[in-house]
Amino acid sequence: MDMISGNVKRIYFKYLTAAFGSALISSIYGIVDMAMVGQYQGPSGTAALAVVAPIWNIIYSLGLLTGIGGSVLLGRCLL
């Protein structure tokens, strides 16, 4: 994949599709998880999940940030 002389639009949409798919799967997982907890644990389980969800999102985002940033730094070191 040549990002300098290649078709930038095609490369952009390839990355956009992967990122959108990942976000969509993560959102569906969250919705299904909330529905299952609500079904089996009731209101107290749903409330507990609503409290923990923002903390989980912060941890997930920091892990994603570290992974993407680390791969960029590694890629620059290998060049």
Domains of the chain: which residue ranges?
A: 1-79
Q: Are 59 and 47 in contact (CB under 8 A)?
A: no
Query: CA 68 to CA 22: how far, in whole Å?
Result: 14
Count CB atoms within 10 A of the CB of residue 6.
10
Return the percentage of the chain with pLDDT > 70, whole number: 96
What pLDDT is recorded for position 3?
Answer: 64
Looking at the predicted structure, is the pLDDT value of residue 15 above 90?
no
The DSSP 8-state label assigned to residue 4 in this structure reads T
> Using the 8-state DSSP alphabet, how is residue 3 labeled?
T
Secondary structure (3-state) at 6: coil
What pTM did the predictor assign?
0.62
Contact 65, 57 (CB under 8 A): no
Per-residue confidence (pLDDT) for residue 1, from 0 to 100? 59
SS3 content of the chain, % helix, strand, coil (to 5): 90, 0, 10
